Structure 1
Amino acid sequence: MADSTPLLSQPNSAESQSTTPPLEKHRPSLDSSIEQCIGVFGWAQFFQTLLVSLAWLFDAQQTFISVFTDAYPTWHCTTHQHGCDSVSNICYLPKNSWAWDWPSYTSIISEWKLECSSSIITGLPASSFFMGCLVGGFVLATLADSSLGRKNMIFLSCLTMSLSSLLTVFSTNIWVYSALRLVCGFGRATIGTSALVLTAELVGKRWRGQVGVIGFFCFTIGFLSLPAIAYLNRGSSWRSLYLWTSIPGIFYSMLVHFFVRESPRWLFVRGRKEEAVATLKSIATPSHSSCLTWSFSEVSFQEERWNNGNVFSTIKMLVQKRWAFRRLLPVLVIGFGVGMVYYGMPLGLGNLSFNLYLSVTLNALAEIPSSLITMLLIGKLNRKFSVLAFTTLSGIFSIMCALKGEVWTRLQIGLELVSFFSACTAFDILLIFTIELFPTSVRNTAASLVRQAVVFGGVFGPILVAADRRDGISSYGVFGLVIGCCGLFAVCLPETRGRALCDTMDEEEHKEKAICDGEGDVLA
């Protein structure tokens, strides 16, 4: 079993002594200095990580709200004179021979008479949301690394997402509605990654995985709250769901602005040493706060060269460095496959022969054991093998969901839950894996790009699901094939379990070269 303590962090090892420049041997690194001050998890850190992680709750609500607002309503025959029955296609029936079970304003489908529209039209609002996430991810991803920082990115993203969601209440047709969903997705794009990166950088290495899972739990709570809110508002307008979710999001944005602290790692990388020390003083435990008076006076740290005139400089750094690109490309491919299942499956629950409220609740509950497994075992899990195993498992069960026959229909919801649970776990581990693969100077950018790859996979979900409303559940077969094939790219990535976080590209490259040289010596 691999040692959980990375080789390069052992100052007495031969490689460490041979590769460390003479002037750096007795000078503490930024990582070791921060670890010394905040390695112990205190109440201030718990409050910060909990407050930041709550952003995931509102993120989940806006991501899956269309499961209810855009649902295809149930209907019944008002007369049987025109051959109307439960399996009829209402597009071929006279309008006076059938009626919706609930008032028309409960769904955009019935309110705007979209029941016979193409799958492209009915799936447009959900696809627009994911397209907004995709565009927003590329436009906003680097700002958290280059100029705004993690905290301001969370504040602005949550505020934009919540305000556009509030304005959605005033939509008059599907085109205005889709446009506002696109803006909502654009604002929401970097919430999860900024929150995950900020929580990881506010605590020591020992607690990195555990605090990251707090965000996953909050996402689950947000997801789980939707069927409860929708059930309490059944028979009411779909607009009420947006009111229930957007207004609390606006208040939360204000809390972030006034109470959340910026990442000390990011502040150091940006050359804002005084602010970084002040942040550390506010979150370090009293017994460790005294180390701040001397720990950073002789820190061995070389600032990254930033191109402040170009917000895409961090993406350029990731692409130009061969070692970084060799890591980025596989995680993007894996993210695409995971996203198709993670976002597509909940949107397709209305096509299953199962109660919609209950199936959405079960899917949301499936994220709880997923987060628990990640929290309890993240310190022991091999990242590469875990991602490969869970994507393969998700793919197999997703394909089984698409099988025809009475027996498979009865097992459908169980197979779907196993596939979704596996995709959730793969998603959680992939995000933590990405944070460990890249240094502080580009970490948020890399994590955001991976999340956009996940969203890009989700773009195709609504259209496939909308097409299935007439043709069955073939979309689940497509989901399974894609995630299974994409998950194979995990074998191309280096293992990161137990490694210390690096802060600059040069530091990460130096560590990469030392590891490769060490493996070469072993093979020789």
Structure 2
Amino acid sequence: MTNYCPCQNPDYDRSAIVSSVTSEWNLICEKKYLASLAQSMLQVGILAGSLTYGYISDRYGRKISTLIAMFSNALFIAISALVTEFWIFMIFRFLIGTAVGGTMLCGYILIIELSGKSFRPYLIGLYEISFIVGYTILPVIAYFIRDWRKLQLITSVPWLLVIIYYWLIPESPRWLITLGRKKEAVDILIYIAKRNHRSTENIELMVDEIEKESMRETQKHGTYLDLFKTPKIRIYTVITALVWMFCSHTFYGINQYIGRLEGNIYLNVLLSAVCLAPGLFVVVLTTLFLDRKVAVLCTFSVAGIALLIFIFVPTYMEWLTLTFAIIGQIGAYTSFVQIYLFTSEVFPTVVRNSAMGFSSMFGRFGGFIAPFVVNIGVEWGSILVFSTVAFSAAVLCYFLPETKDTILLNSIEQTETSKVRRPSRESIIAT
């Protein structure tokens, strides 16, 4: 009734949420920081998972790392719903994060390497449909299941069935070729060609040529150290790491903030999810018709400008504050989607997952800090921070190479010697 601290026997408003982590363990007053820490532990886990699964993927394969990450994700979420101590819950938040990091990273790289350059613009849109659908359904489920433990179980246990993907998805032929496992790569490519009613005559010859180019390097397994051994790769690594950190900080910060806005929490989250759907079309169109750098710079700028305007909107105009918060979220979200694609195109196959993992690690630093920035107590200060880092990310992207319509490179040597020239219109049509 008073909402003042200290509060020995708190009585929570259960009209919107019957049971939450906050009410379960009284994360208020002197324990309030633990609520932010619980959110940030997920980001710490994603950081660790990005590094761990990035290495596993480059060392043992895209397929096995993706499967382990997806199954572990569902398993750890289900177990977290059963724990009785907050510190155990925190451990599982971390473990959930590791699986989330692996799922986002390895799954994305797998489908990128299974697709040709002409399909990449559509691929990122199709890939994100699953995120939008899940994001949209979640507040609907939460509206009817208002106990946090039941919500965790209902949104995790069914997905343990992802184990059947072992028999449904192939390994990345590109990864197999870089390891000299030519026969396996040829078999997969022939299977894919037949399913697409394409000729299989020259597949083995093309794989031979790619293998010769890839095997010019003695290092068959990429490591994180390889990201810093050569000049171009080193510069790209530093820039993409900072861009990911700024992008993640903005995106997760706005997400946290939308959940704290006035009004119905379920409706706010649902609207923020639904409003991301147009972002998919924006991503596909910008990827098709704009250079990578121009597209990313524009979307980051949209996020930064929307957040600057947000500062000057009166707090009593709830619909307008929510509108600009969502516009900022769309800008940050579309930037995030494009950064995934941009980064995967900048780095060669042998270190692609390691590069994505390293960049994602810095992204988690940004995500880790975001809840604390939201909670600093000065609204305009929080928003100004998110806007500033969005503009900073846009500037940094200018210094990355343009990769639109380029063929994915396989080796570090290719990347260091390439001048990133896009093929002519005639060669694209011929290909």
For normalisation by structure 2, the TM-score amounts to 0.90
Offset of 1:209 from its aligned partner?
Answer: 2.4
The correspondence for 2:386, drawn from 460, 469, 479, is: 479
| Maintained 8 Å contact 1:351/1:473 | no
* 1:405 lines up with 2:319 in the alignment: no
| Maintained 8 Å contact 1:436/1:496 | yes
Offset of 1:339 from its aligned partner?
Answer: 0.5
| Maintained 8 Å contact 2:240/2:343 | yes
Specify the alignment match of 1:344 in structure 2. Answer: 253
How far apart, CA to CA, are the structure 2 residues paired with 1:505 and 1:103?
54
How far apart, CA to CA, are the structure 2 residues paired with 1:173 and 1:137?
27
Unmatched segments (≥5 aa) in structure 1: 1-76, 78-87, 516-524
The correspondence for 2:47, drawn from 134, 142, 146, is: 134
Specify the alignment match of 1:251 in structure 2. Answer: 161
How far apart, CA to CA, are the structure 2 residues paired with 1:232 and 1:425?
30
The correspondence for 1:171, drawn from 65, 80, 83, is: 83
| Maintained 8 Å contact 2:61/2:171 | yes
| Letter of the structure 2 residue corresponding to residue 357 of structure 1 | Y
* 1:114 lines up with 2:114 in the alignment: no
Offset of 1:190 from its aligned partner?
Answer: 2.2
Specify the alignment match of 1:505 in structure 2. Answer: 412
Specify the alignment match of 1:456 in structure 2. Answer: 365
Moved more, 272-281 or 409-418: 409-418
| Maintained 8 Å contact 1:201/1:264 | yes
| Maintained 8 Å contact 1:354/1:413 | no
Call closer, same or farther: CA 1:332–1:94 in 2, change over 3 Å: closer
| Maintained 8 Å contact 2:287/2:295 | no
The correspondence for 1:465, drawn from 371, 374, 377, is: 374
Specify the alignment match of 1:184 in structure 2. Answer: 96
2:276 is paired with a residue of what secondary structure? Answer: helix
2:398 is paired with a residue of what secondary structure? Answer: helix
The correspondence of residues 418-437 of structure 1 with structure 2, limited to 5 A, is 418-437=327-346
Offset of 1:426 from its aligned partner?
Answer: 0.8
Specify the alignment match of 1:156 in structure 2. Answer: 68
* 1:493 lines up with 2:404 in the alignment: no
Specify the alignment match of 1:520 in structure 2. Answer: none
Offset of 1:273 from its aligned partner?
Answer: 0.6
* 1:286 lines up with 2:197 in the alignment: yes
Offset of 1:467 from its aligned partner?
Answer: 4.4
1:170 is paired with a residue of what secondary structure? Answer: coil
| Letter of the structure 1 residue corresponding to residue 328 of structure 2 | S
Offset of 1:445 from its aligned partner?
Answer: 1.6
2:29 is paired with a residue of what secondary structure? Answer: coil
Call closer, same or farther: CA 1:215–1:330 in 2, change over 3 Å: same
1:84-139 Cα shifts (integer Å, max 9, x gaps):
xxxx434367858x552349861111122223234421111111110111122223
Offset of 1:324 from its aligned partner?
Answer: 0.9
How far apart, CA to CA, are the structure 2 residues paired with 1:341 and 1:102?
31
| Maintained 8 Å contact 1:344/1:458 | yes
Call closer, same or farther: CA 1:434–1:395 in 2, change over 3 Å: same
Call closer, same or farther: CA 1:444–1:211 in 2, change over 3 Å: same
Specify the alignment match of 2:424 in structure 1. Answer: none
The correspondence of residues 72-471 of structure 1 with structure 2, limited to 5 A, is 77=1, 88-91=2-5, 95=9, 99-102=12-15, 106-145=19-58, 147-234=59-146, 237-252=147-162, 254-284=163-193, 285-292=196-203, 294-297=205-208, 300-303=212-215, 304-306=217-219, 313-403=222-312, 405-406=314-315, 409-468=318-377
Aligned residues: 417
| Letter of the structure 2 residue corresponding to residue 511 of structure 1 | S
How far apart, CA to CA, are the structure 2 residues paired with 1:208 and 1:410?
36
How far apart, CA to CA, are the structure 1 residues paired with 2:85 and 2:53?
29
Unmatched segments (≥5 aa) in structure 2: 422-431
Moved more, 203-212 or 356-365: 203-212
1:472-509 Cα shifts (integer Å, max 9, x gaps):
56422321122222321112112111111111111222
Offset of 1:406 from its aligned partner?
Answer: 4.4
How far apart, CA to CA, are the structure 2 residues paired with 1:428 and 1:274?
34
Offset of 1:405 from its aligned partner?
Answer: 3.1
| Maintained 8 Å contact 1:388/1:490 | yes
Larger Rg, first or second structure (1 or 2): 1
1:91 is paired with a residue of what secondary structure? Answer: coil
Specify the alignment match of 1:8 in structure 2. Answer: none
RMSD over aligned CA atoms reads 2.3
| Letter of the structure 1 residue corresponding to residue 322 of structure 2 | I
How far apart, CA to CA, are the structure 2 residues paired with 1:105 and 1:178?
21
Call closer, same or farther: CA 1:350–1:287 in 2, change over 3 Å: closer
| Maintained 8 Å contact 2:253/2:371 | yes
How far apart, CA to CA, are the structure 2 residues paired with 1:406 and 1:90?
23
| Maintained 8 Å contact 1:213/1:371 | yes
| Maintained 8 Å contact 1:105/1:111 | no
How far apart, CA to CA, are the structure 1 residues paired with 2:368 and 2:63?
28
Offset of 1:177 from its aligned partner?
Answer: 1.0
